[in-house]
Amino acid sequence: MTFMKTIAKKFVKRRFTVRVVKKDGKTEKFKAGKIAKGVERAAEYAGKNRVKFRIIGGRIARDVERRFRKAQEVRSSEIRNMVLAELEKEDKSVADEFRDFIKQ
């Protein structure tokens, strides 16, 4: 890992420390990369440009961080709804694949 990535990673950890409450009640630290990767995989299954949708996933993750910046906890369903709303605007087929992916 490069020096700049290390610094950026530490900065991100300090500025956003919300916990995600899962369906089963367990909590985990928010990980923006999970959104980007999930959106990328949905795009791949829909036959769309993975790189484009990984960038879109990153943008959605930043939007989640901004929206819940002051919260201590956020339900995974709130994050999921934000992701789906943004994907519906971008490409319905990717949103459908993401929806199928989260049902599994």
Residue 5: pLDDT over 70? no
Query: pTM value?
Result: 0.79
By C-alpha distance, which of 6, 8, 32 is closest to 18? 32
Give pLDDT tens digits for 25-62: 999 999 999 999 999 999 999 999 999 999 999 999 99
